[in-house]
Structure 1
Amino acid sequence: MTDTNKSGVIRDINGPIVTIDLPGIRSGEQVKIGELGLFGEVISLRGQQAVVQTYESTEGVRPGEPAVGVGWPLSVELGPGLMGGIFDGVQRPLAKIALESGDYIRRGISVPALDRGKQWEFERSETLEPGAKVGPGTVLGTVQETQTIQHRILIPPGVEGELEEIAPPGDYDIESTIARVRDAKGTVHRLSMYHRWPVRKPRPYLQRDDGVSPLITGQRVIDTFFPQLKGGKGAVPGPFGAGKTVVQQQVARWSNADIVIYVGCGERGNELVDVLETFPELDDPYSGRKLMERTLLVANTSNMPVVAREASVYVGITMAEYYRDMGYDVVMLADSTSRWAEALREVSGRLGQMPVEEGYPAYLASRLAAVYERAGRIETFDAGPGSVTLIGAVSPPGGDFSEPVTSHTKDIIETFWALSKELADARHYPSIDWVTSFSGHVQTAAQWWHKEVDAKWEKRRAAALALLARDAELLRIVNLVGPEALSSAQRWELEGASLIKEGVLQQSALDDIDTFCSPAKQFALLDLAISIFNQGQTLIELGVPVTELQDLPLLAKMRRIKSMYSSEELDQIEAFRKEVDQAMEAIRIEYAKQGEVSS
């Protein structure tokens, strides 16, 4: 740790950028600034002077006040007690801060992320005995962090050697020594139940693997049409009011990940308040307990310091990697990366760096890529496979997807759920545009769908997307010359596309039945819509007027059936399918007889 007697002084202040004289300080080290003790991070060294970006407002701080290095870079505390917590952008626990400073965060307040006084019941690993060779990621034991999550106590990266001692089962606080490891140099490392890790440094792993199974979100347009694998990288771009936050909250609530980390990065306070108030009340659909038992929130609103906003994404992804190293599948949602990029732009401007596209720094693309590349499915050192799925919301000004943040993100990620203002204005939610969106995981997801649900999944998905593409072409013709210019077959194609859009793609987050849709129900609805279209197409070839088919009551029921029956009532959907088949067969027989009579 840095010798705190060697304190420096503040020389210059430019918003959150402070220049200090502090000999011996290192790049990246954290610094306490001024009489208030504001925390900051060294981002540049110029001889004996260091440039520091502070995580809090520097209003009232004057040149000549002291500056002291704390001895480590911006780091997070990793150990039992994180789960269910709500933290700010630099991992300060907001509930504890509220008890000390009220509704507003007092500048300079320093509260540890983890409770030092709480006792945890430690169960040592049965396979470890003194004398064993251990290394980074070795599981020393477990702690039941919540009823849902078992916290595995890992040897931190950088520690390797012979296990000299391991604590017996019992209750310990996070600072108690639970193991001692002697390395090859003879140094003894005292290990507790927590450790620090610098947020800008990716945590190590044994090897990176390809994704093998989709992240099931219960949202049909995502799971069926644009699937995301566990360990994948995705983005949700869209203009204001298109529903980015709702899409991310639905993924957070219903996804089949083990752990959810939601990072509100520079979003409006009222939206984050809604998250903070709603999530603790939600029930986990998989365990039946509270969702917060496997959820962690990082809240950094738009009125909080801009530098803390930039740090919040790194804080979230580091905690996600920590639980990944325990062998869990983690999904991290960043809302939004555009606000994060704006923080980069503001800081780079104050540093006098050369701006490029729309004022963003030249390193925008590399910073975005570095964050997204920390997602992935990996093989841990001792806990089996784990994954981090990273889904970032992007808020392009005016919905312009060619702006720098969106265009660079699109080059990096594998799944692109593009939200449409036109669909949102038409009250079609989720407003994910099936023309602009894409997924690079379809082939891998198909293997899972074919094994777990139905072997026809990929064909039905391809047929639906082809019909939707044909619908877009026909609608352009209709807008120019009207529907009368279309043939009966073309008008039926429009009707079939409408069935898919309204009966499959549309899904209300506020509908108690339809807010979540199981994979089996998703396929049942898609297969039913395609079946109706195919049978209708055959009837039109027999000469049945398209208006007669459009007037069938079963089409209206097809549009409503998603909200009529839950995922457990697939037999009701199958019964309706039989009704459809009977109705279509009756029409076919009737027109076949008419054809025989006329001949």
Structure 2
Amino acid sequence: MEGSAGRVVYVNGPVVKARNMKNFKMREMVTVGEKKLIGEVISIDGELGTIQVYEETTGIKIDDEVVSTQKPLSVTLGPGIVGNIFDGIQRPLNIIFDKSGNFIKEGIGLATIDKKKKWYVELKVKVGDELKEGDIFGTVDETPLIKHYLMVPPNIKGKVEEVRQNGEYDLETILVKLDSGAELKMYQEWPVRIPRPVKERLPIQKPLITGQRVIDTFFPIAKGGTAAIPGGFGTGKTMTQHQLAKWSDADIIVYIGCGERGNEMTEVLEDFPKLIDPTSNLPLMNRTILIANTSNMPVAAREASIYTGITIAEYFRDMGYNVAVMADSTSRWAEALREISGRLEEMPAEEGYPAYLPSRLAEFYERAGYVKTLNNKEASVTIIGAVSPAGGDFSEPVTQNTKRFVSAFLGLDRKLAYSRHYPAINWLSSYSGYITQLEDWYKQNVAEDMIFLRGEMIKVLQEESKLLETVKLVGEDVLPDQQRLILEIARLLKVGYLQQNAYHKDDTFVPLVKQYMMLKVIDNFYKLAKEAVKVGVPISVIKTSELFYRIIKMKYEIPNDYGDKFDLLMEDINEYFSNLIREYEGD
């Protein structure tokens, strides 16, 4: 095999060029040098091939061997993924720690999920059964929350010739043999850059419920949809992602820490295993997969990490689960693309990013979707990507291109964050393209007028924004009372509704029906206050009333199992304004 190996002729950071590469394939995984560093072929020009290496290339020298693994960069998909913590190319960090301590040494190899661990398998097929791609032939209870369905890999079919009894087996055990010659094990491998096949893409029709009022009510994200959370340093991107990971009603969370600071990822790695899933009261890690690729890890592995994450998400989607992918942050991923592109001496485009940045972003976000799987289940992959524009400038290329490919844009605002308003989602610059698609769902499952109420409240916030320009020039006192009332209702909305406390037991997650009831209270107060202002009630009387402060505090004082407390608050509001209007009309 001496003649079939490539030979290193050039090293520049993660980019290695080698001669004698004409028999290699594009996107083929290779090992480089004595330490057998993992790499991927990214271009071939005659005898010369270019490889991006997923580990530090320190120590590689001219004439070192490049050897093919005969397969593309792939992930191993089977029991042992859920609850695990991987690096950017799916190497479990606990195994790496055992081998090399606190730092990842070069040449550690392509470790993956533990293939020697035994799992109890319940086989669902018998001899003579016809199987096709996507069919479920067995199940494994991977965690108390997740049943792992063993599926026939894509492009494989046949009649069952042999099948094992139910029992404990490791991942390498052949469980089923087909007459086509295929042997089915507990795991399958899949190239990370190729989307997994589905039977049909379905229209989006259900929201991803997050328990965050500003998202669920004002800018909903759909199951199978895409969302971006852009924001400058310190605006709460990671905190917002954590809230969505903890509280969203997805069956499985894939959290990709892509190029983030080590201390942020340490917080995730330490906090998530301690968190309790609110719906099951079991540890959150029973339905979470973490991919940690910090900013001091090799940039090429950072570039691969989001493909690793999305492929794992598609695999669990194929079982029938709704999966949410949190990518934090795609800006660091784009920076890795830019660095590798520079070392490849490619022509830079806007701000030094490669010309193919938009198409790479599109490829990633296009892998979201609400689908019918090969085994006829309805399932989804939802992608929520954080974007970290330098200096909070939303006009930079990564934010602008991301905006083209996502349907929900939750723009974080530095002024809100610095005034301790969290989540710091700016209600004027954010939007959701899913309102019309989800309207019927909200009508059937929450309330007939939920979307209408949302529209009315957004009008109040937009009107307030215009009025504040006038207030800056001439002061609030010169405004008529009708307009001053808008300013007060907007304050009610901002402080009493949009601001949410992640550390309060009732406010950290709010059910949709409670969100609607809170909005209904504010709307009712607004309508009656308008009537009161018309008959001459001074705005000072309305805003200093005890009810005004009760409405601001209702998010804390009315629990999530609120019983008749909203009805009583509504009655108090109606009675207060009825007496007030009668008093002023009498005058």
Q: TM-score band, normalised by the shorter chain? A: over 0.9
Verify the 8 A CA contact 1:336 1:394 in the aligned structure 2.
yes
> Is 2:126 the partner of 1:133?
no
Q: Name the CA distance, whole Å, in 1 between partners of 2:169 and 2:20.
A: 39
Q: Deviations over 1:287-327 (max 9, x none)?
A: 11110000000000001000000000000000000000000
> Is 2:464 the partner of 1:471?
yes
Q: 1:529 aligns with which of 504, 509, 522?
A: 522
Q: Name the CA distance, whole Å, in 1 between partners of 2:3 and 2:160.
A: 36
Q: Secondary structure at the match of 1:45?
A: strand
Where do residues 381-420 of structure 1 align in structure 2 (5 Å cutoff)?
A: 381-420=374-413
Q: Name the CA distance, whole Å, in 2 between partners of 1:527 and 1:476.
A: 28
Where do residues 6-405 of structure 1 align in structure 2 (5 Å cutoff)?
A: 6-23=4-21, 24-110=23-109, 112-125=111-124, 128-183=125-180, 188-405=181-398
Cα offset, 1:168, TM superposition: 2.0
Verify the 8 A CA contact 1:417 1:437 in the aligned structure 2.
yes
Verify the 8 A CA contact 1:96 1:111 in the aligned structure 2.
no
Q: Which residue of 1 aligns with 2:571?
A: 578
Q: Deviations over 1:544-588 (max 9, x none)?
A: 111111110111121111022221124323322222222112112
Q: Deviations over 1:201-249 (max 9, x none)?
A: 0000101001111000000000000001100011001111111101111
Q: Name the CA distance, whole Å, in 1 between partners of 2:35 and 2:462.
A: 60
Q: Name the CA distance, whole Å, in 1 between partners of 2:247 and 2:376.
A: 25
Q: Secondary structure at the match of 1:567?
A: coil
Verify the 8 A CA contact 1:4 1:68 in the aligned structure 2.
no
Q: Secondary structure at the match of 1:68?
A: strand
Q: Name the CA distance, whole Å, in 2 between partners of 1:569 and 1:325.
A: 38
Cα offset, 1:161, TM superposition: 2.4
Verify the 8 A CA contact 1:36 1:108 in the aligned structure 2.
yes
Cα offset, 1:421, TM superposition: 0.8
Cα offset, 1:516, TM superposition: 0.6
Where do residues 509-520 of structure 1 align in structure 2 (5 Å cutoff)?
A: 509-520=502-513
Q: Name the CA distance, whole Å, in 1 between partners of 2:232 and 2:179.
A: 55
Q: Name the CA distance, whole Å, in 2 between partners of 1:181 and 1:339.
A: 45
TM-score by length of 2: 0.98
Q: Deviations over 1:314-348 (max 9, x none)?
A: 00000000000000000000000000011111111
Residue ranges of structure 2 left out of the alignment (5+ in a row): none
Q: Secondary structure at the match of 2:229?
A: strand
Please, which moves more after superposition, 382-391 or 248-257?
382-391
Which residue identity is paired with 1:485? V
Which residue identity is paired with 2:6? G
Q: Name the CA distance, whole Å, in 2 between partners of 1:375 and 1:144.
A: 26
Verify the 8 A CA contact 1:503 1:529 in the aligned structure 2.
no
Cα offset, 1:36, TM superposition: 1.2
Verify the 8 A CA contact 1:372 1:413 in the aligned structure 2.
yes
Q: Deviations over 1:256-300 (max 9, x none)?
A: 010000000000010010000000000001111110000000000
Cα offset, 1:112, TM superposition: 2.7
Cα offset, 1:403, TM superposition: 0.8
Which residue identity is paired with 2:560? S
Q: Secondary structure at the match of 2:472?
A: helix
Where do residues 442-591 of structure 1 align in structure 2 (5 Å cutoff)?
A: 442-591=435-584
Which residue identity is paired with 1:155? V
Verify the 8 A CA contact 2:199 2:376 in the aligned structure 1.
no
Q: Secondary structure at the match of 1:402?
A: coil
Which residue identity is paired with 1:515? T
Which residue identity is paired with 2:527? N
Q: Secondary structure at the match of 2:4?
A: coil
Alignment: residue pair count: 586
Which residue identity is paired with 1:108? G
Q: Which residue of 2 aligns with 1:597?
A: none
Q: Name the CA distance, whole Å, in 2 between partners of 1:564 and 1:60.
A: 63
Q: Secondary structure at the match of 1:267?
A: coil
Verify the 8 A CA contact 2:40 2:52 in the aligned structure 1.
yes
Verify the 8 A CA contact 2:75 2:308 in the aligned structure 1.
yes
Q: Name the CA distance, whole Å, in 1 between partners of 2:132 and 2:229.
A: 39
Verify the 8 A CA contact 2:37 2:109 in the aligned structure 1.
no
Task: Name segments (4+ residues, structure 1) moved above 4 Å.
Answer: none
